[in-house]
Amino acid sequence: MKGFREKAGASKCFSKSTPDTPNRSLASVGSELGSSESKSSKGSLLSSLFNSAFSVFETYSESSANEKKAVHNKSNGWTAAVKRLVTAGSMRRIHERVLGPSRTGISSSTSDIWLLGVCHKIAQDEALGDAAGNNGLAEFNQDFSSRILISYRKGFDPIGDSKITSDVGWGCMLRSSQMLVAQPFDREYVEILHLFGDSETSPFSIHNLLQAGKAYGLAAGSWVGPYAMCRSWEALARCQRAETGLGCQSLPMAIYVVSGDEDGERGGAPVVCIDDASRHCSVFSKGQADWTPILLLVPLVLGLEKVNPRYIPTLRLTFTFPQSLGIVGGKPGASTYIVGVQEESAIYLDPHDVQPVINIGKDDLEADTSTYHSDVIRHIHLDSIDPSLAIGFYCRDKDDFDDFCARASKLAEESNGAPLFTVTQTHKKPVNHSDVLGETGGVPEDDSLGVMSMNDAVGNAHEDDWQLL
């Protein structure tokens, strides 16, 4: 990807190397967050905080000048507290109190670190803090910090007909998916950031994602699950393909959402069908090419409340694929972008830090892009991630796709009867390929991996916690 901070090449192995009211104080809120409540109660409190905050902001924005002045004069500190609530530091502390603190930095282990298909070998003296004569850890740090980070933003144009100008508290799944999709783009750096900006003029903004995903229930202010998120990207690509010519497409690759023989988001391992992938490429190129770059999105549910332990070894091994784009997932109610693994730890980029919106033009070489990167390495144990997730893979050409299929088939064979997904040449059962052929397809009636409003999601947390990614 052009213009990145010295990004390492793919598949390369480095050697040596209940609702709240404004009368409640934030102190009492903090006390409640730190108590031994159930996770669903904490989720309810967090949702109430977000709803109260947005209500205050929306009411305030509609007020007249005199009313605003009166608010300032009569304020008992709540307005200021709400503003502090949505700052990056406060949001980070709330998430850590509700969901548990994240760990930062790299452990003292000398085990290899795999980051999106790149192997970084860590020497023993590096793990102990002596990097003299070795650069594996430095290479990893550089690689990690070069990856595009897309996080919560505030102050962007209202989304559609709503008055929502921030995705704080509900947009982490969208942000995580933006990060995954942005990684394989091979364009000028600032152009990529423009494409994923926060306005309707940016093709892959949350504004346009929400519009494209309406058929799957996506709406501003609602959490979304991995399956609906993947389908929304597919729908967005289809809309843009219909609106532009072949040479004007902003998305440089076909998108294939891998599911089962009957669109099986429930039951059975998803199936990568080679014939379907070929048809996706043909549709993307409008019949001009037999094969094109292709992004595979694989939504999975690997358990009920926790990931079934039998899936963890194969989940970890997907990061060794040269085609790896990582995982969109995290803890219930807090999606992250998992980019790497070291032993049993998952390394991730976190979208929960709140930043003011930045409007970056396609040729704005002087733009401040520092908020699009992070050198803070966060990690969680693999068995702690939410079982509802989506894995991404990017294949540059047919040879790369064939290599991916060979690796995926081998991984399935060695999975002890618990494959994440399988590979086949063609479907064994007839399948409705309307989506593949670019027609308007229906939405599955039971899209239980779709979206939930914030209140509904929190209220059902004890039943379907895995829906809250």
First CA to last CA across the chain, in angstroms? 29
pLDDT of 468: 29
Residue, of 67 and 325, whose pLDDT is higher: 325
pLDDT tens-place string over residues 281-292 = 999 998 899 999
CB-CB contact of 359 with 197 (8 Å): yes
CB-CB contact of 179 with 392 (8 Å): no
What is the DSSP-derived secondary structure letter of residue 387?
Answer: S
pLDDT of 61: 42
Residue, of 259 and 434, whose pLDDT is higher: 259
CB-CB contact of 59 with 51 (8 Å): no
Task: Quote the CA–CA distance of 94 and 222 in Å, as a whole number.
Answer: 19
Name the packing angle between helices 226-243 and 274-284 (round to 10°).
40
pLDDT of 247: 57
pLDDT of 95: 52
Per-residue pLDDT, averaged over 96-122, amounts to: 76
Residue 126 confidence class, pLDDT cut points 50, 70, 90: low
pLDDT of 249 > 70? The answer is yes
- Please write down the long-range contacts of 405-410, taking CB distance under 8 Å and 24 or more positions apart: 405/272, 405/274, 407/321, 407/323, 408/272, 408/321
**pTM across the whole model:** 0.75
Per-residue pLDDT, averaged over 225-247, amounts to: 87
Residues that are catalytic = 172, 350, 352
pLDDT of 100: 52
Count CA atoms closer than 13 A to 130's CA, side-chain side.
5
Task: Quote the CA–CA distance of 162 and 157 in Å, as a whole number.
Answer: 10
Taking CA atoms, 290 is separated from 185, 191, 287, 296, 433, in Å, by 21, 28, 7, 17, 18
pLDDT of 333: 79
Task: Quote the CA–CA distance of 118 and 181 in Å, as a whole number.
Answer: 18
Residue 305 parent element (H or E)? none
Helix ranges restricted to H, 114-185: 124-127, 136-146, 172-182
Residue, of 110 and 420, whose pLDDT is higher: 420
CB-CB contact of 318 with 410 (8 Å): no
pLDDT of 425 > 50? The answer is yes
**Distant-in-sequence, close-in-space partners of 11: CB < 8 Å, separation ≥ 6:** 117, 118, 322
CB-CB contact of 333 with 382 (8 Å): no
Residue, of 283 and 43, whose pLDDT is higher: 283
Residue type, 1: M
Maximal CA-CA distance, the chain: 70
pLDDT tens-place string over residues 148-193 = 999 999 999 999 999 999 999 999 999 999 999 999 999 999 999 9
Count CA atoms closer than 13 A to 93's CA, side-chain side.
13
pLDDT of 110 > 70? The answer is yes
Specify burial of residue 370 (Cβ count, 10 A radius: 0-12, 13-18, 19+): exposed
pLDDT of 314 > 90? The answer is yes
Residue, of 372 and 66, whose pLDDT is higher: 372
pLDDT of 29 > 80? The answer is no
Per-residue pLDDT, averaged over 109-137, amounts to: 77
Count CA atoms closer than 13 A to 395's CA, side-chain side.
25
Residue 300 confidence class, pLDDT cut points 50, 70, 90: very high
Per-residue pLDDT, averaged over 429-448, amounts to: 43
* CB contact burial 279-317 (16+ within 10 A = b; e otherwise): bbbbbbbeeeeebbbbbbbbbbbbbeeebeeebbebbbb
Residue 260 confidence class, pLDDT cut points 50, 70, 90: confident
**Distant-in-sequence, close-in-space partners of 155: CB < 8 Å, separation ≥ 6:** 165, 166, 356, 357
Task: Quote the CA–CA distance of 288 and 268 in Å, as a whole number.
Answer: 35
pLDDT of 390: 98
Average pLDDT, the chain: 76
pLDDT of 87 > 80? The answer is no
Residue, of 430 and 322, whose pLDDT is higher: 322
